[in-house]
Amino acid sequence: MLDWIRRLMGDGKPQPPATRQPAPAPVSASVPAKREEAETGAEEQHDGFLCREPILGRDQKIVAYEFSHPQNLQSRFKEKRLRVRQFYDDVLLQHLAALDLRAFLQDRLAFIELSPASLTHPDFARLPRRNLALTLAFTEIAAPRSDPALSAARPLLERLRAEGMLVGLKWQAGWRTEALPEGLDFVQVSRRDLQDAAGEATITALRPAGAERPALRLVAADLCTPEDFRLAYRQGFDLFRGDFIRLRAPGKVAHASLDRLRILQLLQHLRHDAETARITQEIRQDPMLSYRLLRYVNSPAFGMRQEIKGLDQALALLGRDNFYRWLSTLLFHVTDPGYYEYALIEQALARAALLERLGKAAGERGAALEALFLTGLFSLLDKLMGEPLEKLTAAVQLPTAVTAALVRREGKLAKGLALAEACETLAAENIAECARVLGFSAREVNLALVEALAWAHEMAQASV
């Protein structure tokens, strides 16, 4: 593996690549070896990188992720035959099955879109049933109930639902509810179908008042703005996804739930190796900070058999490096958080963990890992606090290389940050290019990303 952290932190001179085992080529169990290269085209080179999109619940927190093909592949499905659709399903399933989705998801859902014909794929059987929300993709768009692949898969779908899997579809304009297949748990409705009288009628038809059967979960998709989100929320949707998550609601200001000045002072003390007694005294002066620290070390993540009651004991358990990290995450805590703040906090934690895990995969340790972690963590602090990164980084006196990456996008650490940012998009070609520059395969990035998202979720829960 390329020693990528030394390339990022060093003088920028070319480094000879180390010996690396090539990633195994995908082999389909349901699609013939010849994959009609003329039809699949150049997109195939990007198919190893998973794209994911967060999905919010009505509490405005992330409750699910939709794992999908890149955008440039999704747009081709409508013109392709079932055979080619199964090829793309095969690629997606192989990469998902290689990940420990059960450990990553915990109490969350993974939404994936597949043809009913792909449900017999051996890698599909390896996915966790109770954490999966299966969106059915049809070749007979106009009449989904009569889709031949669906008819053949009905017995299997019934068994999957009995095992806890959710099954749904994406609503198409012009459909009538009586044409929908039976046994659906959710329906995704696009923003374009929500904003007129027909949209209201669709929602009423999908979830009629007084219905004896359990109500469908309704997923509002392709929401672009905070106004789109508010409309779907008022209409009673259960889940929400779209670019709106990256936009703060107009007029909403994030206020700190803790004394950020005290946190910054503590970070400075740690950077300058202040005595533990001085640090402990600073914490004692802030009851809320003391409470959060004790709550954190007594969380299930630490697995302590006896409750930690003293600050000295808590600091000794954490150690200075971990305490520094934990303090850094507290800069993100705000009062009255909404979807924007919840998502931003978890996004920053995931960036930090992703860069650190890729660094560990390259054999790095110590200061190099710390620089990667801080680069990812502080990269979104300006969006949360409404202050320029230049001012915020100066207040904490971050390492020079970290400040250069954050403020000016200069230096080699900025390339790691670019990869973390690319992983938050649906443009797999951008992920592939950033990973290529750093010498990482799709498998390495996917594994590190899933681990980072799981850690970020745990941290967000333990620190609230």
SS3 65: strand
Average pLDDT estimate for 218-224: 95
Secondary structure of 174-242 in HEC code, one letter for each residue? CCCHHHCCCCCCEEEEEHHHCCCHHHHHHHHHHCCCCCCCCCCEEEEECCCCHHHHHHHHHCCCCEECC
SS3 404: helix
Q: Which tokens hold the place of 153? A: 């898969």
Lowest mean pLDDT among 19-23, 221-225, 406-410: 19-23
> For residue range 392-440, what is the model confidence (pLDDT) as tens digits?
888 777 889 999 999 999 988 999 999 999 999 888 889 999 999 999 9
- Strands 186-190 and 166-170, by their bridges, are parallel
Average pLDDT, the chain: 80
SS3 157: helix
Question: Hey, which residues does 135 pair with through a beta bridge?
Answer: 113, 168
Q: Provide the pLDDT for residue 251.
A: 61
What is the pTM (predicted TM-score) of this model? Answer: 0.78
Average pLDDT estimate for 205-229: 83
Residues spanned by CATH 1.10.3210.10 within the chain?
256-463
What is the spatial distance between Cα 281 and Cα 215, in angstroms, rounded to a whole number? 54
Q: Provide the pLDDT for residue 69.
A: 65
Q: Which tokens hold the place of 393? A: 């980084």
Q: Element (H or E) spanning 367, and its range? A: helix 367-378
Residues spanned by CATH 3.20.20.450 within the chain?
43-246
Q: Quick one: which of 368, 447, 307 has its CA closest to 8?
A: 368
Average pLDDT estimate for 219-225: 95
What is the spatial distance between Cα 58 and Cα 200, in angstroms, rounded to a whole number? 19
413-422 in b/e form (b: 16+ CB < 10 A) is: bbbbbbbbbb
> For residue range 104-155, what is the model confidence (pLDDT) as tens digits?
888 899 999 999 999 999 999 999 998 999 999 886 666 677 788 888 899 9
256-463: CATH number: 1.10.3210.10
What is the spatial distance between Cα 220 and Cα 170, in angstroms, rounded to a whole number? 10
Q: Which residue has the higher pLDDT, 287 or 425?
A: 425
Q: Are 124 and 156 in contact (CB under 8 A)?
A: no
Average pLDDT estimate for 443-449: 93
> For residue range 239-258, what is the model confidence (pLDDT) as tens digits?
999 999 998 876 665 666 56
Q: What is the dihedral of CA 351, 355, 358, 360, to 10 degrees?
A: -120
SS3 250: coil
Q: How far apart are the first and last CA of the chain?
A: 37
The vertex-355 CA angle with 105 and 416, nearest 5°, equals 130
CATH 3.40.50.10860 fits 43-246, yes or no: no
What is the spatial distance between Cα 356 and Cα 222, in angstroms, rounded to a whole number? 32
Q: What is the CA radius of gyration of the chain?
A: 24
Q: Which tokens hold the place of 140? A: 């007979």
Q: Is 210 left (phi over 0), alpha (psi -120 to 50) or beta?
A: left
**Torsion angles phi and psi, residue 388, rounded to 5:** -65, 145
> For residue range 293-348, what is the model confidence (pLDDT) as tens digits?
888 888 776 777 788 888 888 898 888 888 888 888 887 777 777 888 889 889 99
